[in-house]
Chains A and B, each alone.
Chain A
Amino acid sequence: MDEPADSLASASFFTGARDVAAGISRREAIARTLKAGAGLSVLSQVGGLLRGATEPPPSPSAPGPVTVTLNINGDAHTLAIEPRVTLLDALREHLGMYGTKKGCDHGQCGACTVLVNGERVNSCLTLAVMHPGDDITTIEGLADGDALHPVQAAFIKHDAFQCGYCTPGQICSAVALIKEGHAKTDAEIREQMAGNICRCGAYQHIVAAVREAMQPTG
């Protein structure tokens, strides 16, 4: 049985309107990736991946490591990484910052949400080399020493998580949502948190936590 090596055109990659919370849409992410000129090997892996293809995919342009300096939670980190490394994998596998989670690697779950210049971004959908000079904030950078960010404190108080795996993404998303200032009602909070899946089903408590953290007195 033949399997197209690059099934980028598969519907699953393009459909699904669930990443409302992502700072960039999936289409935009692909466009940006292509613009960065380094995305082909990533893309060739995304679709037909891991399925014992009978035909070899076109040979990659064998990119070597490049040097990039990322500004994460106020600290500069210089990395020599291949251009195809996503921001998510750069954080987790190259910097050992595991607070940011991988839940799908396809921009479909929000677990990997981080803040880039204050905007929420699915870090699995963007390449690390695209972010020199950007201000990246992860879950590890939200608290001020021992003092939790109001969203973090509200999550504990309202039991807005169970397993905690979606939580860093939910919290980063909520921090950006509050700054965006578009959500005034519970219904709007729910809508604007729709890109962050919680399989444990803590949604009602997440809304309560965001609502509380949104109060000016917080």
Chain B
Amino acid sequence: MASASDSSPPVAPVGEPRDRVDGRAKVTGRVVYAAEAPVRNAVHAVLVSSTIARGEITAMDAASVERSPGVLAVLTPKNMPKLEYVDAKFHAEKRLPLGDLRIYYAGQHIAVVVADTLERALYASTLLRVSYREEPPVLGLGDPAAKIEWPKGEMTGPLQFEKGDVDAALSGTGVVTVKQTYSTPIETHNPMEMSATVAYWENGKLTVWDSTQAVVNRQKALAAVFGLKPDQVRVLCPFVGGAFGCKGDQWPHTFLAAAAAQAVGKPVKLMLTRQQMFTGCGHRPVTEQTITLGADGQGRLVALRHESKSDDSEVGKHIEPCGAGSSAIMYATPNLAYTHRVSRTNIASATFMRAPGENPGTYALESAMDELAIALKMDPVELRLVNYADRAPHNGLPFSTSNVKECYRLGAEKFGWSRRNPEPGSMRAPDGARVGWGMATATYPAHRFPNQARIRLMLDRDGGVRAIGAAATQDLGTGAYTVFTQMTAMLVGLPFERVKFELGDSNLPPGGVSGGSATTAGVGQAMSEAAGKLRQAMLKRAQENSGSPLAGLTPDQVVFQGGRIVAANDPSRGVELSAVLKGGPAYIEGLNEANPAGADNLPAKQKAYTFQSFGAHFVEVAVDERLPIVRVKRVVSVMDVGRVINPKTAGSQVQGAVIMGMGQALLEETHYDPRTGRVVNDNLADYVVCVNPDVRSIETYFVGEPDLLFNAIGCRGVGEIGITGIAAAIANAVYHATGRRVRDLPITAEKLMRPA
């Protein structure tokens, strides 16, 4: 008997390119982001930030702030209510805001001003007088005053790792080696929506609208800090205006908004300014990575060493796992070592930014692989094929599926790679610009976090059946509303139009963080289990009717199909869902069991595999000869992410990630003043991201197969893989165009003009 449950391949509308279900609301300006919460009579909070990077506040004079028209409250370290730092795992920092007088970085919040209007709060916030005892800040990876840490533990794989004997292998006869250091600057997420919170208290209960990647984690963190039970806190976030990691962990402003609301006894609205987005919710830290590769005459890697440095503030918790995210996974080699080192500096706290570790890690490794291909006079694609890994080098476990070879093949074909002249500087555009073609591998692990989800079936007033799926997950612009609507429709066998999906509310069945590209897989698994529970409940009810055609069948022996529940082996035997629902309760529900804790929540049989997505980017750049500004002319990106639920939204995600990677390669860098430790370019005119004319042609393709070992739907994740490898592919193309290797991002005209 065919089992309807957890192994059948998905059916339509899963896999179809559907328009976003929230599209109409988005193009008419009707979706609600956090700062737009339907809350009456909210007053406005504005944050005041430290102007020094290290030291202590010696005095604060808020008298003139308090006297300023419209001001309702000023919170400073002096009068801030004492909060408890508990449940550390949800916090982005090891400290609560306004908890002490110490200054760890410029931009640290030191006061909150609440007034009746935004304008009055903004003006009053400029009146606060602060005196500091200043200490020289520790800045940069090379600062000798920085405390150095060698973090233990695991992020994807172990953070410090060695197998075999790298040194011995590198000194073997006939071994061709490449050893180079690559660096990436501080990059800032800058989603278009600044982080925002609207908070209010009612009968001892706290309600918070927050721009977040994790409503349930927010709920837990707020409850713990304010000494409440989780059910006394509700967090809502129906829409997020982009996040990319900076809304993943709990940042201090959310606590401050809730504390301010408590202080004034009114709803409080707080939105970070664009300036504060550079220091108040993390960034990708600076990295410096030294890669050593050794290969034999056929190009086979005999050794790989990847030494990675990043930094964080003293109160930050972030490690950028560059080696663990790339060298641990990508190429077969008998001798492999990688290390991670963190310096403590007075730069604002760092955090995950789109593919943390994998992104800078693949930039370094894939640049070094290009240098190795040149040293060996091999084609870069060929070098990668020679070093194909069918199992993860760091743990020896086979990949559940890997179609990276197909990514190379299809990418090369669509791009026209066979027409490439390998000689640097040999290709020209009709206008005389130098043309370069480069490629690189992309990779990102598959995660799924514990999630619950429910599906309800009910009768409409018109007698038709409707399904509503729900989970306390988030749609960051990823298309979650749409793909989960598709999944619900598939799981209950109803047309797409008769299905809705709800998310972004901590009152719904608890979901995990929308990070690590884990949402579709994690919630998808929960949905699939919820559908099983729903089948059980519907079957039970159907069997209450004497003479039911489903009599004697178990839940495993029935399926939802075409608005009916039927015997899996004989679809003619069954009943209409509407008949089962008629005369019953308002709805019948399936809710999956709470998942056990544990990062990836994988059943034991899955522990025998490594779950990893791969892809390939092929890039053409043009570089003007006199003023060597790099233009990305075209990109072909091919990804294997398992089952694609919605090729339309998934393709958009890969395009967007490629564009963010183009910005990383050529434009983006957060500059800190080396004397003061303050961000110099904390605005969108000086922190330059790609704009429309920067983007010419990006083609995306998906290859691969459902990864049913990973979850019942067979999907991995799409959000991050597109930004891995792309900076290296561009850097490699720039080398091919110019013969110049720039090893520190971004690749600007100044760097290309420097004497070699």
Q: Which residues of A contact B (CB under 8 A)?
A: 1, 3, 5, 11-12, 15-16, 18, 41, 44-45, 48-57, 60, 62, 82, 84-85, 89, 92-93, 98-106, 108-109, 111, 138-140, 142-143, 148, 152-153, 155-157, 159, 161-168, 171, 187, 189-191, 193-207
Contact = CB atoms under 8 A, between A and B. Distances in A.
Contact of A104 (B110, B130, B274): B274
A162 B32 contact: no
Interface in B118-145: 118-119, 122-123, 125-132, 134
23 contacts: A12-B682, A12-B685, A45-B122, A50-B276, A56-B126, A62-B69, A82-B119, A101-B33, A102-B194, A104-B684, A106-B685, A108-B274, A109-B192, A139-B28, A152-B28, A163-B476, A164-B26, A191-B693, A196-B692, A198-B692, A199-B242, A199-B660, A203-B691
Given A162-B479, A164-B477, 5 more contacts: A50-B275, A159-B649, A163-B476, A204-B697, A206-B692
B28 A15 contact: no
Contacts of B49: 50-52
Contact of A108 (B239, B657, B685): B685
A119 B334 CA distance: 64
Contacts of A143: 28
B131 to A, nearest CB: 7
Contacts of A198: 192, 692
Given A152-B27, A156-B23, A163-B240, A93 B693 contact: no
A99 B29 contact: yes
Given A99-B28, A162-B477, A106 B683 contact: yes
Contact of A1 (B51, B127, B129, B240): B51
A93 B118 contact: yes
B658 A164 contact: no
Nearest to A161: B26
A128 to B, nearest CB: 11
B429 interface: no
Contacts of B24: 148, 156
Contact of B27 (A156, A196, A204): A156
Interface of B: 19-20, 22-24, 26-33, 35-36, 44, 46-52, 64, 69, 110-111, 117-119, 122-123, 125-132, 134, 189-194, 239-242, 244, 271, 273-276, 476-479, 648-649, 651-653, 655-660, 676, 681-686, 689-695, 697-698
A1 B689 CA distance: 31
B519 to A, nearest CB: 14
A16 B685 contact: yes
Contact of B48 (A5, A52, A92, A199): A52
Contacts of B129: 53-56
Nearest to A60: B123
Closest 5 CB pairs of A and B: A16-B685, A99-B29, A163-B477, A165-B241, A201-B656
Contacts of B51: 1, 3, 51-54
A130 to B, nearest CB: 15
B686 A16 contact: yes
A1 B683 contact: no
B193 A101 contact: yes
B685 A165 contact: no
Nearest to B276: A50
B47 A50 contact: yes
B52 A104 contact: no
B29 A140 contact: yes
Nearest to A206: B692
Nearest to B125: A50
A54 B127 contact: no
Contact of B690 (A52, A153, A156, A203): A203
- Which of A49, A138, A195 has the largest number of chain B CB atoms within 10 A? A49
B26 A167 contact: yes
Contact of B686 (A12, A163, A191, A201): A12
B19 A156 contact: yes
A51 B276 CA distance: 10
A49 B125 contact: yes
Contact of B123 (A41, A104, A191): A41
Given A49-B125, A102-B271, A202-B652, A109 B684 contact: yes
A187 to B, nearest CB: 7
Nearest to A84: B119
Given A187-B693, A200-B477, A200-B656, A56 B127 contact: yes
Contacts of B276: 50
B23 A44 contact: no
Given A53-B128, A111-B192, A105 B477 contact: no
B739 to A, nearest CB: 29
Contacts of A56: 64, 126-127, 129
B648 A162 contact: no
- Which of B35, B192, B658, B691 has the largest number of chain A CB atoms within 10 A? B192
Contact of B274 (A106, A171, A202): A106
B629 to A, nearest CB: 15
A204 B655 contact: yes
A190 B273 CA distance: 28
- Which of B28, B52, B126 has the largest number of chain A CB atoms within 10 A? B126
Given A53-B128, A199-B190, A207 B26 contact: no
A196 to B, nearest CB: 7
B191 A165 contact: yes
B241 A18 contact: no
A62 to B, nearest CB: 7
Contacts of A197: 192, 684, 689, 691
A11 to B, nearest CB: 8
B689 A12 contact: no
A138 B118 contact: no
B154 to A, nearest CB: 31
A41 to B, nearest CB: 6
A167 B29 CA distance: 8
Contact of A165 (B50, B128, B242, B692): B242
Contacts of A157: 19
Nearest to A151: B27
A140 B656 contact: no
A165 B192 contact: yes
Contact of A162 (B29, B273, B656): B656
Given A45-B123, A102-B194, A199-B190, A204 B683 contact: no
Nearest to B189: A199
